[in-house]
Amino acid sequence: MLPLSFLRAHGRLLAFGFFMCFCSSLGQTFFIALFGGEIRRSFGLSDGDFGAIYSAGTLMSAAVLVWLGRLIDRLPLAAFAAATLVGLAAMCLLMGFAGSLETAPGHMAWGAVILLPAIFGLRLFGQGLASHAAIVAMGRYFVAERGRAVSLASLGHTLGDAVLPGLVVAALAFAVWQDIWTGAGVALLILTPIVFILLKGQRERDAALTAARAERRDETLLEDWRLSAVLRDPGLWLRLPALLAPSFIFTGLIFHQVHLAETKGWALSLLAGSYVVFALAALAALMVGGLLVDRFTARRLVGFFLAPLALACLVLAVSSAPAAAPLFLGFLGISAGLAGVVLGALWAELYGVTHLGAIRAFGQAAMVFSSGLAPAFMGILVDQGIAMESIAVGSILYCLAATALARLAEAPRRAMGTG
């Protein structure tokens, strides 16, 4: 792992990445889905109805993320991050307000109207911009240790996965779901100034990066990649199905985790408790993945990193035993950990860091878009009586096809002379 001297020198920046990744949990599917049953009951929604609202909000956030995400290339990092957290806090408060209308006349209509922008904002500021700020910072300011820096920052995701499901299930036993969202929003507002403390000295870091770019401008073409050139790279489109697989499959299955638990005969507490296994597996994958990326590069790992996701779907397809729940989430955790490191380092490896915000914003928007389609698509399948086991089998086939395409991606890059 990284030496103590490195951690002392860059601890604040690494802690910033960790903090932003943890805060992004409030806009992640696993967290919002924990309230799925209460939200559906409050507003009289079916699985498909809630899935459609969730997908619409997520798709809208993906469209906006393409434009807002590139601002990180122009604004001070601290200002970008603080504005993101304030926006996320506002959306938590809006979600709590939507739920508070439950006893008002016409609450179902008005609540559903507010629910859509609340979901949009949670996905945009949480899953989208909070994670974006963390991973762009790791990719931009680290080079030789980029994979391990991304893995350390992504531990914030892992901590959220580990502790928040249990806390939410426990809190729901003595508090209404609306108050939980309101409390989360207030807590975020109180914690936002931490960003400025963790990013102390950022101006000097930016100056050093600018000087380093100038020194190596003649040595590499990577710094010259703009988003328009990236979109013309055949390797991007060959890799894209693999890059989208974790967000689509993971989001779809976790969003419908309450239905999954019901059809498998699992108590929701069993599934929530199994997130500890998910977190431990993700932690191990993050640590190993960071080392692998620094040793072999992220671009070479893209052709292999979907294997744990396919195994998770295989467990779901063949077993309903209680032991299958932690095994399923364990393989999902390995997949999430590897995906977090590989995707966190990939864009900087392939296209450089000068326009990393804009390039990663496109990639992140594509992943958010795919995660937005998943709840509605799988919700429609569920409403049509399609078994979760059949959905899992289809997901396995997708992983195999996407892996085959990703392995073809290197040939187009060599033909373009980009190594």
Question: What pLDDT is recorded for position 418?
Answer: 45
Question: What pLDDT is recorded for position 18?
Answer: 95
Please give the mean pLDDT across all residues of the chain: 83
Question: What pLDDT is recorded for position 350?
Answer: 83
pLDDT tens-digit map of 95-105: 988 766 655 54
Across 160-177, b (16+ Cβ under 10 Å) vs e yields bbbebbeebbebbeeebb
pLDDT tens-digit map of 19-29: 999 999 999 98
Q: Is the pLDDT of residue 264 over 50?
A: yes
Closest residue by Cα to residue 84 from 19, 154, 31: 19
pLDDT tens-digit map of 109-120: 566 678 889 999
Min mean pLDDT across 81-95, 206-220, 352-366 is at 206-220
Q: Is the pLDDT of residue 223 over 60?
A: no
Q: Residue length, the chain? A: 419
Q: With bands split at pLDDT 50, 70 and 90, how would you rate the model's confidence at 396? A: very high
- Please state the rounded mean pLDDT for residues 240-261: 87
Percent pLDDT > 90 in the chain is 28
Question: What pLDDT is recorded for position 283?
Answer: 84
Q: With bands split at pLDDT 50, 70 and 90, how would you rate the model's confidence at 163? A: confident
Min mean pLDDT across 116-125, 273-282, 325-334, 398-407 is at 273-282
pLDDT tens-digit map of 282-328: 888 888 888 888 888 888 888 788 999 999 999 999 998 999 999 99
Closest residue by Cα to residue 352 from 164, 160, 224, 211: 224
pTM of this prediction? 0.77
Q: Is the pLDDT of residue 218 over 50?
A: no
How far apart, in Å, are the Cα atoms of 294 and each of 20, 55, 144, 343, 406? 23, 35, 7, 13, 20
Question: What pLDDT is recorded for position 247?
Answer: 87
Min mean pLDDT across 11-15, 110-114, 258-262, 385-389 is at 110-114
How far apart, in Å, are the Cα atoms of 204 and each of 76, 207, 348, 354? 12, 5, 21, 17
Question: What pLDDT is recorded for position 400?
Answer: 94
Question: What pLDDT is recorded for position 6?
Answer: 64
